[in-house]
Amino acid sequence: MWNICWTRTGTSDIKAGKPAPKGEERVLDWHLYLHLMKFPLIVAPIMAAVCSLLSVFVVLRRMAMISEAVAHASLGGLALSLLLGYGWGFADSYWGQELIAGVFCITTGLLIGLFSRGREVTVDSAIGIFLVASVALGVLMLYIRRDLPGPNKMPLEPEAVLFGSINSVAAADAWLISILAALVFVVVLGMLPSFIYTTMDEEMARVHGVKTWLIHLLLLVMVSSIIAVAARMVGTLMINAMIILPGATARLVSRRFGGVMIISLVVGVLGVTAALLASIAVAVANVPFVRSAPTGPILVLTLFLIFLAIWFIRRVRLFFHRRQKGRLAAAQAEHV
């Protein structure tokens, strides 16, 4: 249980990590805190749900590295919008940043697909090339923008771009992620058999008349868009975990496609919500050293621990299953 008392103290003091006045117990008004955190608490599960749905296809199609490159490209996209924002107000606005970062991510994803189509550049090389290029470009643009003279200062620090801040999401983020999530769910569930077939065996799907190029394009655009939007909240370094870990965990548990999808959604939504609540709890309870820790890493580590726990349980079960099988075989051999 969290060590919290129900009296009144300023939430801003706690969030800022200020120590409690001497002789006074650190306490807060939970209602006020939850009111302040209502948008993160709405946005995080929605973001987790849409990432977990796409995660199944990303993992099964072995596209994890592509999403990694696109996630890093979001740094380049955000940096580009900030650099353009120096002289163009729209690029510095919320929608300007989302639009430019989204276009940058989608273009990177499509370029990886285009470069790896021929035989000259392999997929892994194309991913590696675009990953480092977009990070290098992003970091360069961020620092150029920061050091540009004049009153028009950069609205974000480079670290904020890397680690994100889910605690500071607002109504616009909630709307954007909700609309995007609804679109992704409609597209994926509406075309589910084609998505499954293309994921399982693209060549066979083509032979059976599935427009695999369209499915591939849709998946790339959806993953890139979600990464571009979500990267602002959990950071460009962390977003990829949300796209990979739920699907990878679900694959350990179920051998049915429907089962993998449901478990991925459950793991993603519950894991992210639990992580967010844990993050709030450590801030509220003023836990030393971690009270001001960013939510992104806590969220990723929660998903990682769930993955690790399920992997461990699976290995143990497999070990005992094999041992039992070995004993049965030995007993049968002895009997014969």
Partner 1 sequence: MTDRHDHHDHNDSHRHEKPGMDLVSHHGDDDVCLNQVSFAYDGQFVVENVTLHAPHGTTLGIIGPNGSGKTTLLKLMLGLLRPNAGTITVLGMSPAQACARGDLVGYLPQRHELDWSFPISARQVVELGLVGRRGLLGRPSAADRRQAADQLAAVGLADQADVPIGELSGGQQQRVFLARALVSRPRVLFLDEPTTGVDVGAQENLQELLALVKEQLALTLIVVSHNLRAITSTCDQIACLNRTVHYHDKPSGLSREMLSRVFNCDVEYMLDPHGHERH
**Min CB(55)–partner 1 separation in Å:** 13
**16 or 214: whose CB is closer to partner 1?**
214
**Min CB(254)–partner 1 separation in Å:** 6
Q: Which residues contact partner 1 (rule: CB under 8 A)?
A: 60, 119, 190-191, 193-194, 196-197, 200-201, 203-211, 214, 251, 254-257, 259-260
**18 or 62: whose CB is closer to partner 1?**
62
**Min CB(119)–partner 1 separation in Å:** 7
DSSP reduced 3-state for 191: coil
**31 or 208: whose CB is closer to partner 1?**
208
**260 or 299: whose CB is closer to partner 1?**
260
d(CA 8, CA 206) in angstroms, rounded, equals 64
**38 or 117: whose CB is closer to partner 1?**
117
d(CA 222, CA 50) in angstroms, rounded, equals 10
Torsion 208-214-217-219 (CA) sign: negative
d(CA 172, CA 183) in angstroms, rounded, equals 17
Residues 6+ apart with CB under 8 A from 14: 26, 28, 33, 283, 284, 286, 291
233, 162 in Cβ contact below 8 A? no
Q: Which ranges in the chain belong to alpha helices (H)? A: 11-15, 30-36, 38-60, 64-84, 89-92, 94-115, 123-147, 158-163, 171-190, 192-200, 202-207, 212-234, 239-253, 257-284, 295-335
**Min CB(73)–partner 1 separation in Å:** 27
**Min CB(82)–partner 1 separation in Å:** 39
**37 or 260: whose CB is closer to partner 1?**
260
**Min CB(202)–partner 1 separation in Å:** 10
